[in-house]
Chain A
Amino acid sequence: MKIHEYQGKELFRNAGVPVPNGFPAFSVEEAMEAYKKLDTDRVVVKAQIHAGGRGKGGGVKLANGTEEVEKYANDIFGMKLVTHQTGSKGKVVQRLLIEEASDIAQELYAGIILDRSSGKFVFMVSSEGGVEIEKVAAETPEKIIKEWIEPNQDLKQFQARKLAFALGLSGVQIKHAVKTFLSLWKVFKAYDCSLMEINPLVVTKSDEVIALDSKINFDDNALFRHKDIQEMRDLSEEEPSEVEADSFNLNYIKLDGNVGCMVNGAGLAMGTMDIIKLYGGEPANFLDVGGVANAETVAHGFKIILSDPNVKSILINIFGGIVRCDRVAQGVIDALTQVEVTIPVVIRLEGTNAVEARDLLKNAEHNFIVANSLADAAEKAVKATGEES
């Protein structure tokens, strides 16, 4: 799960990570009130969407005085912001952050992620702040400095100090950086984050080390113990069909193709998308219906796939292990009495009772296209779209 910059900064503020004074605004009026409350001339008007690259897209503006604040708040609020992370459709800005402008002396980068190879979290900093860190990692990896956090322990003072010195900081900056680093780790650990990035982390002209941005992702598996974080979820930032699927415990991700897929198991679902592509089609979605493919889950799956008007055919690929294929087939047949499906449905069932399942489908009222193998299914599903690609 992701949250907005202003929500992340609230977590930072509460944990003692210095951040600029600022207030979220859900309208231009609120933006003006926030400006008044800040009681300063220069502020930054920042679009709040769950994507990076906001500045380049025109979603972040430095404003001086009431008139400019009003102008930029008007410009940005409601705008369709397109960045390298939003795709060409962009995202409509519905929230702003109005925040005191900072006197920046130096822009740095700080981040915490899991290092899968060692099974430990790693705290990373770089003197190359304000630019895409992926680019730094690819071109000048030596400019990223890392400290691994030992299991059952916290980031240590000496580690934070090593990072600060490696960044070339000096004097009172060291003390401030150490405090900021230690507090960032505290937030990461306390809320079961899966990724945290502060880009830029800024050294001000008065030698403070403050978080000018916040990007936080949370471990979905740990959300059960963080009700306060769950409440921060902004559903308007997510694909409506994905939110609906989630409410039925279906794992659905919308894509741009025309072959809808319904599969049991995440790996097989990805593999099914891949084989559709190999046969010249484009998958319309990832959908893992999980271990129990009964009439109810299949019906929900159909509804969600069909909510995408681009879908021209549906491929159901189930490998029945513990779940019996004839039960799945019956589930599909029953689901079609609940949902009207007018586009071709290709079904491939393999595993336990696959033969009985095929007989059920062949004798069913609905005109299924029954496939004999994974390759056969992909070929038939792509052909059934009626579109040459």
Chain B
Amino acid sequence: MSILINNETKLVVQGITGKEGAFHTQQMVEYGTQIVAGVTPGKGGQKDDNGIPIFNTVENAVTETGANASVIFVPPPFAADACLEAIDAGVDLIVCITEGIPTMDMVPVKEALDNSHTRMIGPNCPGIITPGECKIGIMPGFIHKPHGNVGVISRSGTLTYEAVHQLTEQGIGQSTCIGIGGDPIIGTTFIDLLSLFKDDPQTDGVVMIGEIGGSAEEEAAQWMQNNNFDKSVVAFIAGQTAPPGRRMGHAGAIIAGGKGTAADKMESLRNAGIAVCASPAEIGKTMANSLQSKMTV
């Protein structure tokens, strides 16, 4: 099993004819993702290079093809509207890749998500992959090891690939890997995904990659304690050496008013009994040890 996506997921690509959208559609098709439709307003009725039918609206795409998930490659000024359109069309899952959406635009999107059954991953994220079954996003598929027992949740992109690579090198496969995004407002949090992994019998362990800014990691630590989360959890927090008051690339990665430091987050996680790596090079090894010690108990 896996969470959120599998080989039955039917995907619509919003922004399929853009440069990014077209390139990654190709990559996802090659990985085996079932892409049933694309959307580019004004290009309805055409087909893309892979023969995927293009629609003018997400609603049309959903009605005609039964798509239940959407991935968004729409430029920042129009991306929030694209999210709202997908919510309105009633898809179960949105994966918003776009980086640079104004926060003011994301506030109503978050509200619309809260009032619907739709879940959104991102924005400003690499996406989600259930290795060997379905890839929705821009991550390199080949670094993953299919049908594994470890889930990965991360606020980062390439640092997630680093963690996945280390797991694969240790011979540890992944159940589902999710980049939740580096923005201040995101659709899905650590807690949302931890609770899904909690109910997934295939997942024995979870790698959590956080970073400076906000308090999502602290909240996740508290949640795991309160809910007796008994799977192996290994965490790394990026930005232990980041100066306060500076935005470290991601819009959400900033230590503001003395809050959101890596030290605070690491302490909260440790207090919740989670194995916290100081070094990003130790993630794979630490998970291997953790899984092994559980097995011998």
Chain A residues close to B by CB (< 8 Å): 85, 114, 116-117, 119-121, 133-134, 137-138, 151-152, 189, 192, 194-195, 219-222, 224-225, 251, 253, 255, 263-278, 282-283, 286, 288, 319-322, 350-352, 373-375, 378
Contacts and interface: CB of A to CB of B under 8 A. Distances in A.
B248 A286 contact: yes
B222 to A, nearest CB: 12
Given A151-B110, A351-B165, A373-B281, A266 B241 contact: no
B211 A267 contact: yes
Contacts of B140: 320-322, 351-352
B: contact size bracket: 35 or more
B249 interface: yes
B73 interface: no
Nearest to A242: B246
Interface stretch (B8-16, B101-109, B226-234): B101-109
Nearest to B20: A291
Contact of A322 (B27, B103, B165, B249): B27
Contact of A189 (B77, B104, B139): B104
B158 interface: yes
A265 B185 contact: no
A277 B241 contact: yes
A288 B212 CA distance: 16
Contacts, number: 174
Contact of B215 (A116, A138, A320, A321): A116
Contact of B103 (A194, A275, A319, A320): A194
Interface string B264-297: 0000000000000011110000000000000000
Nearest to A133: B257
B103 A192 contact: yes
A278 to B, nearest CB: 5
Contact of A219 (B102, B142, B219, B246): B102
B248 A253 contact: yes
Contacts of A220: 247, 251
B103 A286 contact: no
Contacts of A277: 240-241
A273 B253 contact: no
Given A222-B102, A319-B158, A351-B161, A267 B238 contact: yes
B96 to A, nearest CB: 14
A152 B104 CA distance: 9
B76 interface: yes
15 contacts: A119-B106, A120-B107, A219-B104, A253-B243, A255-B243, A265-B157, A266-B249, A270-B249, A271-B238, A273-B240, A274-B278, A274-B279, A283-B241, A286-B242, A351-B140
A270 B238 contact: yes
Given A116-B215, A321-B140, 14 more contacts: A116-B214, A119-B185, A194-B103, A264-B158, A267-B159, A269-B248, A271-B156, A274-B280, A283-B241, A321-B158, A351-B140, A352-B142, A373-B281, A374-B162
Contact of A119 (B111, B243, B278): B111
B138 to A, nearest CB: 6
A258 B227 CA distance: 44
Contacts of A114: 103, 184-185
Contacts of A282: 241
Contact of B279 (A119, A120, A269, A375): A375
Nearest to A350: B165
A136 B194 CA distance: 34
Contacts of A121: 107
